[in-house]
Amino acid sequence: MTATRLPDGFAVQVDRRVRVLGDGSALLGGSPTRLLRLAPAARGLLCDGRLKVRDEVSAELARILLDATVAHPRPPSGPSHRDVTVVIPVRNNASGLRRLVTSLRGLRVIVVDDGSACPVESDDFVGAHCDIEVLHHPHSKGPAAARNTGLAACTTDFVAFLDSDVTPRRGWLESLLGHFCDPTVALVAPRIVSLVEGENPVARYEALHSSLDLGQREAPVLPHSTVSYVPSAAIVCRSSAIRDVGGFDETMHSGEDVDLCWRLIEAGEPIALVAHDHRTQLRDWIARKAFYGGSAAPLAVRHPDKTAPLVISGGALMAWILMSIGTGLGRLASLVIAVLTGRRIARAMRCAETSFLDVLAVATRGLWAAALQLASAICRHYWPLALLAAILSRRCRRVVLIAAVVDGVVDWLRRREGADDDAEPIGPLTYLVLKRVDDLAYGAGLWYGVVRERNIGALKPQIRT
């Protein structure tokens, strides 16, 4: 068995959003969307979209489906919790740390105090039902350095990094460890949800749209995909893989988790819930959003090919630009481009036994996705330019207003579907206003970072042919 072969018993399940074309001769889906043609033998191995690894052939097909991002892993039971050390970086959050430690019963835990005003001591955890070691930084070095200190003291095969303001829910670790049955997996993360019910509009907004919550759907972590990174507030890693890439970048005080994810991907490494104590006071919340935006420019310096705020095809971009001009000639030219795009898609799908409706659905979905990307980018990454254009032009003002409303309402509808049943609801108008404030704060941090780093990479779109 090769070092990257999936073990027997490992299963994969085709994503329910993937379209099966013709008589099963091709699969259309993934992120980014791609067409995967299946040989007759491969079709026979898939049963109701599920494949279980039994031999070399099924293992190879499972790997192809996973790499194409059209299927998700369904691993058997994974490593034991005894193979995991939990590392907790903490600074001036004793109450959150105590709450977290009580949820880690039976685990080995390393607490790294990063220069707290009142240092954490081992005696603080008398009676805790876990094995706790406390390490100290006399002065704060930042969360990346604190995690690296904990990693250096870790002797287990796997390490879980948990921030002191999270609280894992029951079963979080077991559901993540199974993924390490795949020898190519270096890092797995749970979904991060809100710790407490919404007590004010900001809290209810964060419950739906936290920067740390990357959605309710499982996904591989890949640049320019639906999940391009995961936050280090809660991750489980293969210790050797993290050490091989040099751990966290200690020169970064924000965005170090994104940087780590992308370095792992460059090195060839590609259901659980953890609750997070969100910042819900308006001033702190806005400052945190701007802080996140400020990490984009340093990341662009380190990963210039992965930080594009907009990844779009040239045809779709031109079609929507012409449509936004608002003239009859512009709309006609936009329609011509859409028809030519449909013809190109039809040629690409010709050998997959597709119908006209299949081609129409793919083309329409692509144009709609491009419109949503543009609306989001206008309101979030490029809002200073959009504001200037709106001041100078009535037509631009109409386009910006439509983008702001469409982006907010569509995002509200999507997020509401994935919300907990017991979550405090938030109305569309309140959500829309807070979404715009969120984007304004993030964009301000982004542009500040661009000026500080003297690098515009975080603003450069990626236009594909």
Return the number of other C-beta atoms located less than 10 Å from residue 138's C-beta. Answer: 9
Could you give all domains of the chain from N- to C-terminal order, each with its CATH number? 11-74 (no CATH), 81-280 (3.90.550.10), 311-464 (no CATH)
Rounded CA gap, 55 and 58, in Å? 6
Q: Would you say residue 150 has pLDDT above 80? A: yes
**pLDDT reported for residue 350:** 73
> Does the pLDDT of residue 27 top 70, yes or no?
yes
**pLDDT of amino acid 247:** 94
pLDDT at 351: 66
pLDDT of residue 326: 80
Per-residue model confidence (pLDDT) at position 229: 85
Render pLDDT for 160-195 as a digit per residue (tens, 0 to 9): 999 999 999 888 898 899 999 999 999 999 988 888
**Helix/strand/coil percentages in the chain, nearest 5:** 50, 15, 35
Q: Which of 161, 192, 351, 194 is nearest to 261 (CA)?
A: 161
- Which stretch of 19-28, 69-78, 403-412, 446-455 has the lowest confidence by average pLDDT? 19-28
Specify the amino acid at residue 17: R
The alpha-helical segments, DSSP class H, found in 162-253 are 172-177, 201-209, 239-244
Average pLDDT over residues 355-378: 89
Per residue in 304-314, pLDDT (tens digit) is 988 999 999 99
Six-digit token string for 416? 């509401």
255 sits in the region (left: phi over 0; alpha: psi -120 to 50; else beta) called: left
Q: Model confidence at 112, in pLDDT bands (50, 70, 90)?
A: very high
Percent of the chain with pLDDT over 70: 95
pLDDT in tens, 406-430: 999 999 998 887 666 566 778 999 9
341: pLDDT confidence band, cut at 50, 70 and 90?
A: confident
pLDDT digits (tens, 9 = 90+) for 291-301: 999 999 999 99
- How many Cβ atoms are within 10 Å of 406's Cβ, its own excluded? 16
Q: What is the dihedral of CA 171, 205, 310, 336, to 10 degrees?
A: 110
Task: Tell me what pLDDT residue 398 has.
Answer: 94
Classify burial at 232, counting beta carbons within 10 Å of its beta carbon; exposed 0-12, middle 13-18, buried 19 or more.
buried
- pLDDT of residue 325 exceeding 60, the answer is yes
Select from 61, 120, 58, 114 the least CA-distant residue to 91: 114
Q: Which two tokens stand for residue 272?
A: 């659980």
**Whole-angstrom distance, CA of residue 167 vs CA of residue 392:** 49
Q: What pLDDT sits at residue 270?
A: 54
pLDDT at 271 over 60: no
Q: How far is CA 293 from CA 227, 276, 287, in A?
A: 17, 20, 10
Q: Rounded mean pLDDT of the chain?
A: 89
Of 245 and 356, which is predicted with more confidence?
Answer: 245
